[in-house]
Each structure stands twice: as structure tokens, then as C-alpha cells.
Amino acid sequence: MKNFFDLSFEELEELLAGLDPRPFRTAQVLRWVYTLGADDFRNMTDMPVSMRESLAGLCDLMPLREIERSETRDQTVKFLHILEDGEMIESVLIPEDGHNTLCISTQSGCNMSCAFCETGRNPGGRNLTTGEILAQIVYAIRHSGDRLNVRNLVFMGMGEPLLNLESLQPALEVILSDRGLNFSPRRVTVSTCGWVPGIIRLATEGPDVNLAVSLNATDDKTRSKIMPVNRQYPIGSLMDAVGRFPLKARSRITFEYVLIEGVNDTQEDVLRLQKLLKGLPAKVNLIPCNENFSGFRAPSEEKARAFQDSLYDYGVLATMRKSRGQEIGAACGQLKAGSARKQHD
């Protein structure tokens, strides 16, 4: 059976035309699925029963099977889903100031091998389809009861999103369309480890969403050590590509910076970082390193705060991200459905 979310609007139109040629049927189905969160065609009560039955036999509205759900005291929820072929992915719903941010995966593993990341520790996996990306969002919306309860989408889960633009771009079209999930582009962020060809392609082809760059070091030697992508695309070429990314008025590129004790947390790093960002509409998101297999640790709170303050002194906007979901392995760099996959094999 076909994953419903793999159908483009045009393909859905074609499919429905074979059942009922009247054009309003497409809008009706899209509203049920994306606005009302329907998970069964049989519940689409304003459509003929025969049509609902036919659709139920053709398309799957529940293509993800949840096999585990964990929740922290602060109500961060991590979903572990199994896909049709046995691959596993995680997505994380993070409550913040009365709304939710959903962190979505684009691959079922990652080959970029960032030294601080659990996902990168389990190379392999595959690109997700457009439908598998969209289904994570719809699933989380159903869980939270209303589309409006999920306010921000961040492509920061498992995988490097810009290595899967084939699936990501059509998914973004549905996410941003008022026929689909109707998110504002300001609420959607694609995060990259620095895959320069992907940044250039997204900048050229769109769609227009926020860009976050996981920077994590201020010199090539250190960055190549903790992020192998830097050997192929060093900081100079990365900053060059980022500098050409089209930005709307008042928007900024976010630079994620995982603070690691003794690796990237010195005052020399502050100095180099502010130089790299000079002239760019940028903000820095400091993330004290989460404890995991890597042996890396976050600097003391005092040192992290001093790093942030020094950036401020140079006029660089820097926020410190509160770590969420650590106790269930849902925090930044902790997603590891790949190892769950091995356990379930």
C-alpha cells in the first residue's frame, strides 16, 4: 500500500480523479489529513462510503509504527518509529514557552561521523522518503491534538538534511503550503553540518526557510577533528556559501556551537568566532555538550557563561540552549535509533 504522504498534491488529484472527478475532493481529503489530523479514511464523514473504502485500500495514513515512546519530567517526548523495511528513526517533541518544537529526522542513520554525535556513530541507514519525513510531523501533530500545538519544525534529528534534498524539498512544499501543513517559513529551520553543495542548492532552488549551521569549532584543524565534513569543505568555503544564502529582512543564520571542554571553549575561540561572523546577520546558539559515548564534556557553567558574555562584548548575539531530553537520550547529538535497530535485528 502507498504511503499517503509520498503523494504530491498533483498525484493525489490524479488518484482521486479516478474515484470521483469533482475537483473539490482533493481539498476535502487534504483538509481531513493535514488540518484535522485524520488517521483513517473511513472517518471522513463528508465523503461517500465507497470512496472512503477505496482510499483505505489504496493509501496508508499511518505509515510509521511507533515502537517506543519516552517522556521526561519536562515533557519532552521522544518517538522511536519503525519503517516498512525495518529501519528505525526518532523524532523529538520539545515543549517551550507554551508551544512545541518538533525535531525531525531525514535519514535513518548518518555517515557524517561527527565525533560528538550518537547518530554518526552508527553509519548506514538510508535517506527517508518525502512521505516518511512528513509522517513524523503528522504523527506529532496527532499526538499533541492540534496542528497549532506544534509551532516550530527543526530538521536537526537523525541525518544530514542537505544530503537528502530530493525528499526534503517536496516535503517542505507540503509543510509550507496552505493546502498542506501551512507552516510559516519563519518557523521552519534546516540544520546542516556544513554540506556546502546542499547549502548552495537550497539557496538557489529554495524553498525559503531558515538555515542553521552546526559550526562547533573556529579553526580547520579542530573542526576537521570533530567534524570530518570539514576536510572536504573547510570553514572558508562554508562561510562563503553561508554568506550567499538569501535572507529575508530581519532574519539571521543560526550557528550551532556545541561547547566542549578543552576543545573549542577558549577566549581565542571567541575571538576567531566573532571574526568569522563579522558582517553576517548571525546568531550563535551555544549548546553545552551532552554526556554520551564520546567522552566529551561541557565546560563548567561559569566558563560557558563567560564564553557567551565575551561574544556579547563583541556584539555577537549568543543564546545558551537549555538541554532538553537528556535523561531519555533525546537531546542534541543523542539520537541513536541506529543502535536500537541493531538490538531489534
Residues with a known catalytic role: 90, 332
Query: Counting contacts by CB under 6 A, is residue 103 touching ligand SF4?
Result: no
User: Please, which residue, 83 or 163, has the CB nearer to ligand SF4?
Assistant: 163
User: Please, which residue, 38 or 115, has the CB nearer to ligand SF4?
Assistant: 115
Q: Which stretch binds ligand SF4 (CB under 6 A): 1-9, 115-123, 166-174, 199-207?
A: 115-123
Shortest CB 331 distance to ligand SF4, Å: 12
Length, in residues, of the chain: 345
Q: Which residue is nearest to ligand SF4 (CB)?
A: 120
User: Please, which residue, 126 or 142, has the CB nearer to ligand SF4?
Assistant: 126
Which grid coordinates belong to 342? 541493531
Which grid coordinates belong to 151? 509551532
Cα–Cα separations (whole angstroms), residue 21 to 9, 18, 116, 179, 331: 15, 7, 53, 19, 48
Residue pointed to by grid coordinates 510531523: 137
Distance CA 258, CA 265 (A): 9
89 contacts: CB under 8 Å, gap ≥ 6: 80, 81, 83, 105, 108, 128, 132, 136, 157, 158, 337
Distance CA 55, CA 225 (A): 51
Which amino acid is located at 126 in the chain?
R
User: Given candidates 47, 82, 88, 114, which one binds ligand SF4 under the rule CB under 6 A?
Assistant: 114
Q: Which stretch binds ligand SF4 (CB under 6 A): 13-21, 59-67, 108-116, 199-207?
A: 108-116
The helix-helix angle for 196-205 and 165-176 (nearest 10°) equals 40
User: Given candidates 193, 273, 277, 298, which one binds ligand SF4 under the rule CB under 6 A?
Assistant: 193
Q: Which stretch binds ligand SF4 (CB under 6 A): 28-36, 144-152, 157-165, 232-240?
A: 157-165
User: Given candidates 103, 117, 215, 298, which one binds ligand SF4 under the rule CB under 6 A?
Assistant: 117
Q: What is the DSSP code string of 5-47?
A: GGS-HHHHHHHHHTT---THHHHHHHIIIIIS----GGG-TTS
User: Given candidates 15, 112, 140, 241, which one binds ligand SF4 under the rule CB under 6 A?
Assistant: 112
Q: Which stretch binds ligand SF4 (CB under 6 A): 155-163, 198-206, 260-268, 286-294?
A: 155-163
Query: Counting contacts by CB under 6 A, is residue 330 touching ligand SF4?
Result: no
Shortest CB 210 distance to ligand SF4, Å: 17
3-state DSSP assignment of residue 148: helix
- The footprint of ligand SF4 on this chain (CB under 6 A) covers a number of residues equal to 12
Query: Counting contacts by CB under 6 A, is residue 260 touching ligand SF4?
Result: no
Residues 45-64, mask of contacts with ligand SF4 (x by CB under 6 A): --------------------
Cα–Cα separations (whole angstroms), residue 154 to 129, 143, 233, 261, 274: 17, 17, 23, 26, 25
Q: What share of the chain is helix, strand, coil (3-state, %, to 5)?
A: 40, 20, 40
- Vertex 230 angle, CA 130 and 227, to 5°: 75
Residues 58-97, mask of contacts with ligand SF4 (x by CB under 6 A): ----------------------------------------
Query: Counting contacts by CB under 6 A, is residue 159 touching ligand SF4?
Result: yes
Q: Please report, as ranges, the residues that interact with ligand SF4 according to CB under 6 A.
A: 110, 112-114, 117, 119-120, 158-160, 193, 333
